[in-house]
Chain A
Amino acid sequence: MIPHRRSRTRRATEIVAFSLFGAAMAVALLALGIILYYILSRGSGAISWEFLTTFPRKGMTAGGIYPALVGSVYLTVGALVLALPLALGAAIFLVEYAREGPWVRVIRIGVNTLAGVPSIVFGLLGLALFVKALGIGVSVLAGSLTLGLLILPLLIRTAEEALRSVPRSFREGGLAVGATRWRTIRSIVLPAALPGILTGIVLGLSRAIGETAPIMFTAAAFFTPRLPTSPLDEVMALPYHIFVMATESPNAWKTKDLQYGAVLVLVGLVVVLNLGAILLRAHARRRKVW
């Protein structure tokens, strides 16, 4: 291809170029390592049982993150409960009922586009539709609905992938013994796809718990003196709590330790959920030797 260049130069070019490739990969992994190490080393000192189970005190300059943690769990679980049935239904349609064609293509492009919509735009929708037009107000429910829409495409895609990985012969077996199509899906296909669906659920939880922009106008409160007692109450949420403490508090520097602690708890939750998803996926793949 390059006959005039001597082979030694070509060899040197190859070594340099591939080293740069390796260096790029190293930079990406190093960045991940630095961020995780930084948060772990600074935050671990703040973590205690008390930090996780008490309310903030003294105008949020002392105390724990309990209400923010509980609020985030409410919002996240609420989002999942609202979105999962819709996502499962959509995935079942795409895999089990739809015939490939322009319609399915449009549906799929819609799901992909929804996945690309910025999270702040979901926040705007939540404000205009759930908080104002439907009159739900700034609340756990409005926040969960907004987050539910946000994780919808992710849940649809993972459930679709899980259903697609179930071999055709399973369905043929069900239909051959006289079961209806829905009966076959419910009793044979869904159970076989369960590990893959669970992976999607875990990833959805991980995504929803870290999102801040969609809940800023729809659910999150700066501070609440008690836990929400109804889905129509405002809540504190962990990511919003971190944002407020790091930027808006006049005492931002005074609460550094609390901030590191809160960040570590959030990152810890996300990392644990993602590791869980990785293990689940490995489990699903191993089982695939049907």
Chain B
Amino acid sequence: MNTPKRASPRHRSRLSRLAERADRPIFFVFGVVGLVALAVILFFVIREAVPVFRYVSASELLGPSWYPTSEPPFFGALPMIAATGLVTLGALLLAIPLGFASAGFVSEIAPPAFRDLAKSLLELLAAIPSVVYGFFGLTVVAPFVQRAFGLPTGQNALTASLILGLMALPTVASLAEDALTAVPKAHREASLALGASRWETTWRVVFPSAFSGLFGAAVLGMGRAVGETMAVLMVAGNSPVLTWSFLRPVRTLTAGIALEMAEAPYRSVHYHALFMLGAILLLITLATNGLAEWLRGRVARQGE
């Protein structure tokens, strides 16, 4: 056995010596950690969700009544799917115009020095925890909405949409700005040289050229709004009743899980049904991310 020579500069830890010989396979294992995490999430959420079909049929799962603790219980997720759609739509109606326009401001009008500042501030807006947005919505926006529309409660889909829109805004604005900045300068110069004004250039040349990237920004903003939990839980009112009105309390998929999981006994029908809501969310996420990824590929090809 070699005695370790501690004082020698040649001494290296055993781990390090191993790493030097087997570095490639070792780091390959680390490299796939993201994929493994994703696979583990898919596996466990689906594993806990699927047993719900032993008790509830697929058509009942998409039914209009959600009364998980009544006798007999009803597990129809439609009200929550609809509510998620409703508040996401509302959020995007706010976040897309504001996000695209502020991105246009930063990339086309503002001095370049403003770009870093704006990006940092948008990052800060994105960094504020969702429970804080929920708190702000509950104490400021909900009372305002209640008074403005003369409602019994300000906790409804509209308030949730406003807060969610604000939360999705930094994502949309920042990615849209990246897309606009990526449009080659030559496009703008060609348009201006033909006599178009700066606005005409922006609206008819830059925005259309950046279409894929802008669409991707909107899609990722949508993903953010669909998956948001705490803020919606605090301001949307949480009534699991099917409605298409923005002025009614609603319960989204995320809020439903957060609200009821603590009361659902382990591996009861209710527990499995809540995991099924999670699986639906996961499916929406995979779809939106797949779309965003495809659009990103298109943008990359355009750049070549």
Alpha-carbon distance A240/B202, docked complex (angstroms): 45
Which residues between 10 and 33 of chain B lie within 8 Å of chain A, taking CB atoms? 16, 19-20, 23-24, 26-33
Taking chain B's interface residues, is the majority helix, strand, or loop, or is none over half, making it mixed?
helix
Asked if B72 lies at the interface with its beta carbon under 8 angstroms from chain A, I say no
Kindly identify which residue among B33, B105, B166, B274 contacts A22, using a CB–CB cutoff of 8 Å.
B105
Kindly identify which residue among B124, B229, B288 contacts A212, using a CB–CB cutoff of 8 Å.
B229
> In the complex, are the beta carbons of B23 and A181 less than 8 A apart?
yes
Alpha-carbon distance A14/B201, docked complex (angstroms): 10
B98 neighbours in A (Cβ, 8 Å):
24, 27-28
Which residues between 111 and 125 of chain A lie within 8 Å of chain B, taking CB atoms? 111-114, 116-125
B122 neighbours in A (Cβ, 8 Å):
28
Minimum CB–CB distance for B96 against chain A, Å: 11
Alpha-carbon distance A247/B135, docked complex (angstroms): 9
Kindly identify which residue among A1, A153, A212 contacts B34, using a CB–CB cutoff of 8 Å.
A153
B27 neighbours in A (Cβ, 8 Å):
89, 92-93, 96-97
> In the complex, are the beta carbons of A112 and B101 less than 8 A apart?
no
Asked if B178 lies at the interface with its beta carbon under 8 angstroms from chain A, I say no
Kindly identify which residue among B44, B99, B135, B286 contacts A125, using a CB–CB cutoff of 8 Å.
B44
Residue of A nearest to B44 (CB): A128
Asked if A20 lies at the interface with its beta carbon under 8 angstroms from chain B, I say yes
Alpha-carbon distance A107/B223, docked complex (angstroms): 20
Count how many chain B residues have C-beta atoms less than 8 Å from C-beta atoms of the other chain: 96
> In the complex, are the beta carbons of B135 and A246 less than 8 A apart?
yes
Asked if A25 lies at the interface with its beta carbon under 8 angstroms from chain B, I say yes
Alpha-carbon distance A240/B230, docked complex (angstroms): 10
Minimum CB–CB distance for B262 against chain A, Å: 7
Kindly identify which residue among A86, A112, A122, A210 contacts B130, using a CB–CB cutoff of 8 Å.
A210
Taking chain A's interface residues, is the majority helix, strand, or loop, or is none over half, making it mixed?
helix
Interface segment, one of B75-83, B181-189, B192-200: B192-200
Minimum CB–CB distance for B118 against chain A, Å: 7
Residue of B nearest to A181 (CB): B23
Asked if B210 lies at the interface with its beta carbon under 8 angstroms from chain A, I say no
> In the complex, are the beta carbons of A216 and B261 less than 8 A apart?
yes
Q: Which 8 A-B pairs have the closest CB atoms?
A: A210-B129, A118-B227, A89-B30, A93-B31, A24-B101, A14-B199, A110-B35, A25-B102
Residues of A bordering B, CB below 8 Å: 1-2, 10-11, 13-14, 17-18, 20-25, 27-29, 31-32, 35, 38-39, 86-90, 92-94, 96-98, 106-107, 109-114, 116-125, 127-129, 132-133, 149, 152-153, 156, 180-183, 186, 203, 206-207, 209-213, 216-217, 239-240, 242-243, 246-247, 259, 263, 266-267, 270-271, 274, 278
**A and B contact pairs by CB, cutoff 8 A, 22 listed:** A10-B200, A13-B197, A13-B199, A14-B200, A17-B203, A18-B109, A39-B132, A89-B33, A107-B32, A114-B34, A116-B288, A118-B226, A120-B281, A127-B261, A129-B40, A213-B254, A216-B258, A242-B131, A243-B134, A247-B138, A266-B129, A278-B123
